[in-house]
Amino acid sequence: MDKLPTPARDEDGFATVLAPDERAGLVVSPRELATTYARLLVTAGDDPRANRLILRNVFTWDADVRKRDREHLPRGWNLQRNTQPAQESYALRTASGSALVWYGITEADTYTARPGAPGMTF
């Protein structure tokens, strides 16, 4: 794994905090990043904009797992996913001008069987 980026520091030596909606010098704000990642999960990796903004790697494998789950859902079953970014996010400006962002995701999956659907175990 690569090293974490070095946080930028202010004149007092403290890390430089980014506001959730701050975009200065960034492609997306910290809040937009969390929303985009949630969309990547909801669409199981099928959202073109999310795929342009978020590098698919070991940390984003959830989208691939979700796609596999959706494709292997037994006949007669529907899956409704509710994935949202948590309200709070935290971000630091990095020495290179990018951002180091922490955010949470809340998820709830609802499985619904249509009449005649086979049983399913989890």
Please state the pTM of the whole predicted model. Answer: 0.78
Please tell me the predicted confidence (pLDDT) of residue 58: 65
**Higher pLDDT pick, 110 / 4:** 110
Token pair of 44 as six digits? 């199981």
Residue 77 belongs to a domain: yes
Q: What integer best gives the mean pLDDT of the chain?
A: 88
- Name the DSSP letter for residue 25: T
Report yes or no on 8 lying in a domain. no
| Structural domain includes residue 85 | yes
pLDDT digit string, tens, across residues 103-115: 999 999 899 999 9
Number of domains composing the chain: 1
User: pLDDT: is 23 or 120 the higher one?
Assistant: 23
Query: What's the token pair of residue 22?
Result: 């701050």
Residue 54, in any domain of the structure: yes
DSSP letters of 27-45? Answer: SS-HHHHHHHHHHHHHTTT
Instruction: Specify if 95 maps to a domain.
Output: yes
Residue 121 lies in a domain: no
On whether residue 11 sits in a domain, the answer given is no
